[in-house]
Structure 1
Amino acid sequence: MAGIKEIRTKIKSVQNTRKITKAMEMVAASKMRKAQDRMRAGRPYATKVREIAAHLMQAHPDYHHAYMVERKDVKAVGVVLVTTDKGLCGGLNTNITRLALSRLKEFEQKGIKVQATALGNKGLGFLTRIGADLVSHEVQLGDTPNLERLIGAIKVQLDDFVDGKIDAVYLATNRFVNTMKQDPSFIRLLPLPSGLSDPFQSAEADKAQEDAQVKSQYGWDYIYEPDAKSVIDDLLLRYVEGLVYQAVAENMASEQSARMVAMKAASDNAKKIIGDLELVYNKTRQAAITKEISEIVGGAAAV
């Protein structure tokens, strides 16, 4: 009977675990919709800022902002790693940290120094474990990206790029594709491409956007206040900040989607385990009852 008691305890334990994973699945599903809406709502802003900035630079080709300067001899780069603060979201953090680690090794093999920024507790722990040169970090981002909190951590990398301490800034984040798919992406944040193409779009979409810009025959004329240089400077800064905000929003949408899928898989596995344990429990109980009946019959026959 000790075996039956152990199996019954195990079933109860798995049932309690399934209740937790089922509740987490429902919470993640609720947060996922809000995160996806927030992510999609941020895309039109980044698109419009990118269009206006591209038009301004076409109108003033003689002015080259510091964010647009390509440096041939790359000796140092900055990497911004965007991860989640919590776990239980499948292989989301593992995939992006594995991609970031492979890129860091490539930079190391080329003799390029790397300074890192962590956005998210999991990324902070990862960069600390591998002994990376961590210059800034921001954790406990919550369920809603806050640009004011992100700027403080990112500004260190942006200022170092302008000062010439680093020659490029890269952004490692999970790009949201759909509920079942999230792609780990390692994109270049600075220097900005000449056409200001969207780093979160596919290559085919970027090519179509460039073709549309080439075919466009419209001229761009603006009235500036106070002057064109100040407007372009502020606009490109807002554009870079918008890219970072969009990266965090994409990662948060990916997090909730991955957590919902992971918790659903955990709940389904728990249900399967409960079924297997109940089958073993019934067989063990039946065997115990049969044994008791046999003992009673044997005792009666002996009397």
Structure 2
Amino acid sequence: MAKARELKGRIRSVQNTRKITRTMEMVSTSKLKRAQDRVEAARPYAERLAGVIGRLLTPELAARYPLLRQPERVRRAAVLLLTSNRGLAGAFNANLIRETRGLLARLRSEGAEVELHAAGKKGIGFFRYQGETLRTAASDISDRPGAADAQRLVDGLMEQFIAGELDAVYVVYAKFNSALSTPPTTMQLLPVAPPEGGQGGDADYILEPSGDEILGRILPLYVRNSVYRALVETAAAEHGARRTAMKNATDNAGDILETLTRTYNRVRQAAITQEIAEIVGGAAALE
């Protein structure tokens, strides 16, 4: 019965594991709904900002704003990677890291000097292990990021870009299309690409203060909001990926339990049959 006892121990272990993964799945499902609400709430503001910039922007104004400066060649670039602080989310972080490595390789092959910035313990840990120098590393951003987190991450990069120390800034994040579709995405943050929606001159309203001053205030807000959206979409994508991973783990644990239970019953039946045969044999020997 040694094997039966061993199987019984494994069954208890898998049952405990299934309870944990099932609980984590339920927690991620609850957090996913709230994170998805934050993503949907962030979109209208971003669309309105883009619409205002698109209607106010003219070629004459565009030439006066450093955040719109289009360099002839990217000689120095910055990459901001957003990952999660925790694992157990399947290939979520690995896909973001793979996207970042590809972007770094492409920029460096084009002759650009690249500095890496990372938010999230998983991305920070991987690139430090690889010997990559991180200019900044933020590991204290929760799965409920706020506007202040986005400002902290991007304001220094904006200052470098305005000063001419950077020619381009990219952010790598998980785009939240749905709970099952969260592809790693590279977005060019700076220079700001003129949003679609028109090139000035067609507005039918009076501006106070001037369009020039409004653009000067809105452009930094637009950049910060782009990073904020990337943060909330990555947070929602993390919960979606963890829910899927934990559901798969729970289902797999169920399959393993079924196999182990069947094997245990077979071993136990064989042991009982053997004991019966020994009793019958012993009784026959006494006759």
TM-score of the superposed pair, with normalisation by structure 1: 0.89
Name the residue aligned to 1:262.
Answer: 245
What is the CA–CA distance in structure 2 between the aligned matches of 1:62 and 1:39, rounded to whole Å?
30
Compared with structure 1, are the counterparts of its residues 107 and 174 closer, same or farther at alpha carbon in structure 2 (3 Å cutoff)? same
Name the residue aligned to 2:222.
Answer: 239
What is the CA–CA distance in structure 2 between the aligned matches of 1:106 and 1:161, rounded to whole Å?
20
Name the residue aligned to 1:13.
Answer: 13
Which secondary structure does the structure 1 equivalent of 2:173 belong to?
strand
The AA in structure 2 aligned to 1:75 is R
Equivalent residue runs for 1:1-303 within 5 Å: 1-58=1-58, 61=61, 63-194=63-194, 196-197=195-196, 213=198, 218-225=202-209, 228-303=211-286
Alpha-carbon offset, residue 176 of structure 1: 0.7
Alpha-carbon offset, residue 301 of structure 1: 1.8
Which secondary structure does the structure 1 equivalent of 2:58 belong to?
helix
Gaps in structure 1 of 5+ consecutive residues: 198-209
Alpha-carbon offset, residue 156 of structure 1: 2.1
Alpha-carbon offset, residue 121 of structure 1: 1.3
Percentage of matched positions with identical amino acids: 35
CA RMSD of aligned residues (A): 1.9
Moved more, 235-244 or 121-130: 121-130
Alpha-carbon offset, residue 291 of structure 1: 1.1
What is the CA–CA distance in structure 1 between the aligned matches of 2:204 and 2:133, rounded to whole Å?
44
Gaps in structure 2 of 5+ consecutive residues: none
Compared with structure 1, are the counterparts of its residues 132 and 159 closer, same or farther at alpha carbon in structure 2 (3 Å cutoff)? farther
1:191-241, CA deviations, whole angstroms, 9 ceiling, x for partnerless residues?
Answer: 1113x24xxxxxxxxxxxx5xx37x9833554333x544432220000000
Name the residue aligned to 1:205.
Answer: none
Which secondary structure does the structure 2 equivalent of 1:289 belong to?
helix
Contact 2:150 2:231 in 1 (8 A): no
Compared with structure 1, are the counterparts of its residues 277 and 62 closer, same or farther at alpha carbon in structure 2 (3 Å cutoff)? closer
Q: How many pairs were matched up?
A: 286
Contact 1:18 1:271 in 2 (8 A): yes
Which secondary structure does the structure 2 equivalent of 1:80 belong to?
strand
TM-score of the superposed pair, with normalisation by structure 2: 0.94
